Structure 1
Amino acid sequence: MDKQELGAFLRSRRERLRPRDVGLPGGPRRRTPGLRREEVAVLAHISTEYYVRLEQGRAPRPSGDVLAAIAGALRLTDAEADHLHVLAGTAPNRTGLHRRDVRPSILALLRRLPLTAGFVMSAACEILAWNDLAAALMEDFTPLTPEQRNLARRVFPGPENGEEPLYGISDAADFRLSVVTRLRTTLARYPADPAVTGLVSELRDTDPDFARLWERHDVQAAPMLTKTFRHPTVGEVTVDCDTLALTDRDQYLVLYTAPPGSPDAESLALLNVLGTRAGHYLPS
């Protein structure tokens, strides 16, 4: 049970709710944002004292029923409720190291996908495997170190390295938020993995935007259904974006495709021919 993170997460969700969101009158004298602690306790049918101690990191581990009641009172999404259970220690927790070895069948699948840019990403946002079209669309990852292939480090390079979007993507702000939410859930699952804890500490210390987003305690970003790359050779390419969870290894298969016959599909086909001979983005 991570008492401090649990308390901070509860507080962040409570402060985002307005009284009218849960059917309570607003009143003119609210000095703090969101619901009051006693209001959450009433909605969850638990004592105010116990809920206050939960937020302060002083309470014993709550039961699953209590957590479900609090999740309902705070109007948590499924992803947020799952995260709440992980923080409270009532869900299976991967206390070891996150996996970086990719299943051979997935590696073979990447090579066989027609006109699809695909890559496998670890729970800590490191690109582990990729096909030729992904290398042509994004960059050739072969000469890069594992640290350089980490998309969290690439999209949060620190203020001294400029604000040029990674790979010229059009949804850079949304992508940054999705990276932060992914890392927050990963840290809850692997609290003893030095690669994960070190990465989060590094980014919090070096990038103010990451630190700001981290303090929001979000664990669910809006799905990215399309993505536009501004490629130096073929120009703008808009692709459909599908992310498939590889649950046995806590990894993600990311696939970029375009509708057959569309200009974007033609651009992908050209990149497929050019391969890594195509021009690439300047490194962040």
Structure 2
Amino acid sequence: MLRVLDRLAGPPALIISALGETLVRNEPAQALFGDVSHYTGLERSEVYRWFVRPETERRRYPEHDRDRQSRAQVASLRAALAATGPNSRATELVRELTRKSPEFAALWDEQEVHRRFADHKTLIHPDLGEIEVDCQVLFTEDQSQALLVLTAPPRSEAAGKLELLTVLGSQQFSGERQQQGLG
């Protein structure tokens, strides 16, 4: 998957684990999602941060889409747990999230299972505003990792914004981290 990612200089692309941990990403993805390399332990999981740190993690999604995203996060984690078994890091993640997030616990009780990456969504960039993207995914054979690629229709406003991400790089995120007390 790294070879494929290395060839994707244009669209934002990242490789994540089944637990939502960013393993590697290209510059446009870094500019879109910010730097997550400083997280350790359970904080490395976007699922964990989504439910435990909603004030920072959810700002990349419009408010009207956050319930769908919450359900997708829980369903993906349930699929990861089914694949890895009861003595896994997924079990630890579920236990902690159930303890720390009533929202997670309620959604977990609904028992939805699926992995949903390939869809149309709107993301919010702090400088560029809303960007409508299509998310395509490629899984490893054992489905423990996924390559996500975000694209927009050619010559669309969203495509122009995605191109700007390569220019912006991660410049604004150093300031953003300082504002959050992380840098």
TM-score by length of 1: 0.56
CA distance in 1, matches of 2:115, 2:37: 30
1:141 maps to 2:36: yes
Change (3 A) 1:184 1:248: closer
Task: Say whether residues 1:256 and 2:150 are aligned partners.
Answer: yes
Alpha-carbon distance in 2 for matches of 1:275, 1:164? 20
Q: Is the 8 A contact 1:244 1:253 kept in 2?
A: yes
Q: CA RMSD in A?
A: 2.3
Q: Distance in 1 between matches of 2:152 and 2:27?
A: 16
Letter in 2 for 1:108: R
Residues 20-52 of structure 1 deviation map (CA, whole Å, 9 limit, x = unaligned): xxxxxxxxxxxxxxxxxxxxxxxxxxxxxxxxx
Which entry has the higher C-alpha Rg, 1 or 2? 1
CA distance in 2, matches of 1:189, 1:154: 22
Listed one character per residue, the Cα deviations across residues 137-190 of structure 1 (whole Å, up to 9, x for unaligned) are 011223333533311111111xxx555662421322111111111111221222
Distance (Å, rounded) in 2 between the aligned partners of 1:151 and 1:162:
10
Matched, 1:238 2:135: no
Secondary structure in structure 2 of the residue aligned to 1:141: coil
Q: Distance in 2 between matches of 1:165 and 1:148?
A: 11
Counting only pairs closer than 5 Å after superposition, residues 85-104 of structure 1 correspond to structure 2 as none
Structure 1 letter corresponding to 2:38: P
Q: Give the structure, 1 or 2, with the largest relative contact order (CA under 8 Å, sep 6 or more).
A: 2
Provide the rounded CA distance (Å) in 2 between the counterparts of 1:213 and 1:129.
29
* Deviation for aligned residue 1:216: 0.7
Q: Distance in 2 between matches of 1:187 and 1:110?
A: 26
Identity over aligned residues, as a percent? 34
Equivalent residue of 2:169, what SS?
helix
What is the alpha-carbon distance in structure 2 between the residues aligned to residue 261 and residue 223 of structure 1? 24
Q: For the Cα contact (< 8 Å) 1:168–1:231, is it kept in 2?
A: yes
Which position in structure 2 is the counterpart of 1:152?
A: 47
Query: Equivalences for 1:35-184 in 2 at 5 Å?
Result: 106-145=1-40, 147-157=42-52, 166-170=58-62, 171-184=65-78
Q: Is the 8 A contact 1:138 1:167 kept in 2?
A: no
Q: Deviations over 1:64-120 (max 9, x none)?
A: xxxxxxxxxxxxxxxxxxxxxxxxxxxxxxxxxxxxxxxxxx223212214211111
Could you tell me which residue of structure 2 aligns to residue 50 of structure 1? none
Check the 8 A contact 1:155/1:166 in 2, yes or no.
Answer: yes
- Contact preservation (8 Å) 2:14, 2:147: yes
SS of match in other structure, 1:133: helix
One-letter code aligned to 1:205 = R
How far residue 278 of structure 1 moved from its aligned partner, in angstroms, is 3.2
Opposite residue 112 of structure 1, the aligned amino acid is R
